[in-house]
Every structure is written in structure tokens, then in C-alpha cells.
Amino acid sequence: MSQANYGKVAVLMGGVSAERDVSLMSGEGVLQALLSKGIDAHAFDPAHRDMSELKRDGFARCFIALHGRFGEDGTVQGALELMGIPYTGSGVMASSISMDKVMTKRIWRFEGLPTPAWSQVSNAAQTRAAFAQLGSPMIVKPAREGSTIGLTKVTTLEQCDAAYALASQHDPMVLCEQFIAGDEVTCPVLGEPHAPLALPLIRIVAPDGNYDYQNKYFTNTTQYLVPAGLPAGEEEAIAELAKQAYQVLGCRGWARADVMIDAVTRKPYLLEINTSPGMTGHSLVPMSARAQGMSYEDLCVHLLAHAALDSTSMTDNARTIA
């Protein structure tokens, strides 16, 4: 497809979630990449413009660089479905499920995929009970946020109340999760559910093992190792696990699966999957793509070329009948 055939492209960025600042950085990077390839791309911030303007202003495609709720959770995807504007990434249901860490873990567990033990809690007392059940350390985090926002690593019972209070500021649904000590890796996946492609794994080595919001986006002390340097066979097995995680949730376009490898058993555990991953200067999908020989600009164009609608086949059938 020639660049002209993409039509007028909106890069959705910013939004109203707790990840707004990161989204603006992602969106600006994507915008400049598409412009450098001669694509008629424009910034569009749903926090400042009504989504209906996309249809009114003749946008033909959307690159979703929004992160978090009201961008990555199926809501924007649903609006674009109604307007008939193809968009990058997963559809409504896959986006909604993947944003909800509890629902994601339930499906993975049902499908026999490994994920750390967890408990969904709605108050501090339940958080303390989860700590007694899951043991120390325990991760407490909002069930529907990203970028480690609102996350606490709890090592004592006395920390549970504050950890719950912090997480619940961002989401009334709070997830308590068994902490897996070991190597932290991430695996981007591209393509349709029936034929996903795993990009090279990245092993993350953060200062003091603390891969928090600051170390993700605003410091240069975190190490990202590509190749990951894992023991023989592990990288291939984790890539296969990431593809399975992507498939059972019905993801399409692209996503990034985060995995912890138990230091003792070397068993990998799926933590979560991101259906609108970061595209900043510190982001992992562009880093992995570069290791595969794909530039940031080419990655953006690739994702845009695969923009689609969940309803495309339904619409085509309706036209045929008409």
C-alpha cells in the first residue's frame, strides 16, 4: 500500500488516563515517524477534542498511542467501530479484557497458561488476608492501570493498608499478586491471532530490581538486554508462551507480554499484556523491533498498515446482501 492510500491519519495521544504524559511522548514519536514517511498524519488528543470530529474531519485511519483507561480498554475502540474508522491494535473485547488484569489472569489460568497466584480485594482487611495467603513479598496494584502506577511491593503485614489505599486511588478493583523473584523479560508480539509473530525478548535489569514509573521512562540506569542472554531454549519457550497469551485473549495488531522467570525453577509466569504499548524513547517494542532489523519509523508504518475494524467482515457481508 502506498503512503497516499493511508489517507488522513489521526495519531490519538494524551487522553485522560493516569498515563497521559507517557501517551503524549508516545504519540509525538509516532507522529514524527509517520510524517517522516510522507503520511498525512495529525495529532488528536481526545482530552481536548470530541471523538466525533474524527469522522467530521475526514480521518481515514487512527494510530492509537493512548495508554490506560479510555484509550487502551476498548472504549475508544468501540467509538471507532461505530464511526467505521480502522485503528491500530486489538479490537473492543480483547482491549477490554487485556486492560483488566484480573480478567486476563482468569482466562490465562482457564487456558492452562502460567500466571502468579492472586487475589482480588476491595478493602484493606482483604489485602491483609491476601498477604497471609500469598506470602511475602506481595504485589498490590490497581487492576486496570499500567506503567506500574499505584503499585507497591509489600513485605510486611503493616504495609498492606497503605498499599491498598494507594492502589484504590486509581481503581476500586485492586489486585494482590504473588511476587516472583527472578529475571524480568518482555516479549512483543505482532500480527493476527491465527499467525502471531514474536519479536526478540528483552531482559530488564532495573536499579535494585525496581522497574517503577521513574525507571521506566525518566532514567537511563535501567539496562535492557537484547539478546536477553537466557539459558538455552528459554527464549524460544517464552516467545511461544507470549504468542499463546496473545492468541487466547484475541489480540491483533500488536501487544507486549510481560513475564517473570522464577530464579530457582526457571518457570516463566505471565504478568500482563499491553495492547497499546509505549512508543517513547525508553519503550520496549521499538527496542525489540530494532533488534529484528526494523526501524522505529518502519514499525509505525507496519502497525498503521494493519489498522482494522472488528466489524469489517460483518460490514462486507451486509454490503453483499444489500
Full pLDDT tens readout for the chain, 322 residues: 556 689 999 999 999 998 899 999 999 999 999 999 999 999 999 999 999 999 999 999 999 999 988 999 999 999 999 999 999 999 999 999 999 999 999 999 999 999 999 999 999 999 999 999 999 999 999 999 876 789 999 999 999 999 999 999 999 999 999 999 999 999 999 999 999 999 999 999 987 655 455 555 455 778 999 999 998 899 999 999 999 999 999 999 999 999 999 999 999 999 999 999 999 988 999 999 999 999 999 999 999 999 999 977 444 434 433 4
| pTM of structure | 0.90
102 and 196, same domain (yes or no): yes
Catalytic status, residue 5? no
User: Are 284 and 192 found together in one domain?
Assistant: yes
> Among 256, 269, 276, 283, which one carries the catalytic annotation?
256
Judge if 50 and 104 occupy the same domain: no
- Is residue 93 assigned to a domain? no
Structural domain contains residue 318:
no
Can 258 be counted among the known catalytic residues? yes
Which residue out of 147, 168, 276, 288 is catalytically annotated? 147
257 and 225 within one domain: yes
274 belongs to the catalytic site: yes
Residues 199 and 239 in one domain: yes
Separation between Cα atoms, residue 245 and residue 104, nearest integer Å: 9
Catalytic residue, from 90, 98, 168, 274: name it.
274
> % helix / strand / coil in the chain, to the nearest 5?
40, 20, 40
Residue 76 C-beta-side C-alpha neighbours within 13 Å: 37
- Which amino acid, one-letter code, is at 66? L
19 is catalytic: yes
- Catalytic residue, from 81, 177, 258, 310: name it: 258
Q: Rounded to an integer, what distance in angstroms lies between the CA atom of residue 314 and that of residue 100?
A: 27
Any catalytic annotation for residue 229? Answer: no
Whether residue 187 lies inside any domain: the answer is: yes
Residue 256 annotated as catalytic: yes
Among 172, 173, 128, smallest CA distance to 154 is for 128
Q: Which of 272, 276, 288, 310 is flagged as catalytic?
A: 272
Those residues whose C-beta lies under 8 Å from the C-beta of residue 258, and which sit 6 or more positions away, are 184, 185, 186, 270, 271, 272, 273, 274
Say whether 111 is catalytic.
no
Same domain, residue pair 151 and 200: no
215 noted as active-site residue = no
Domain count, the chain: 3
| In a shared domain, residues 212 and 287 | yes
Catalytic residue among 14, 15, 17, 19: 19
Please indicate, yes or no, whether residues 227 and 142 belong to a single structural domain of this protein: no
CA 126 remoteness from chain centre: 28
Domain residues for the domain of 168 are: 118-178
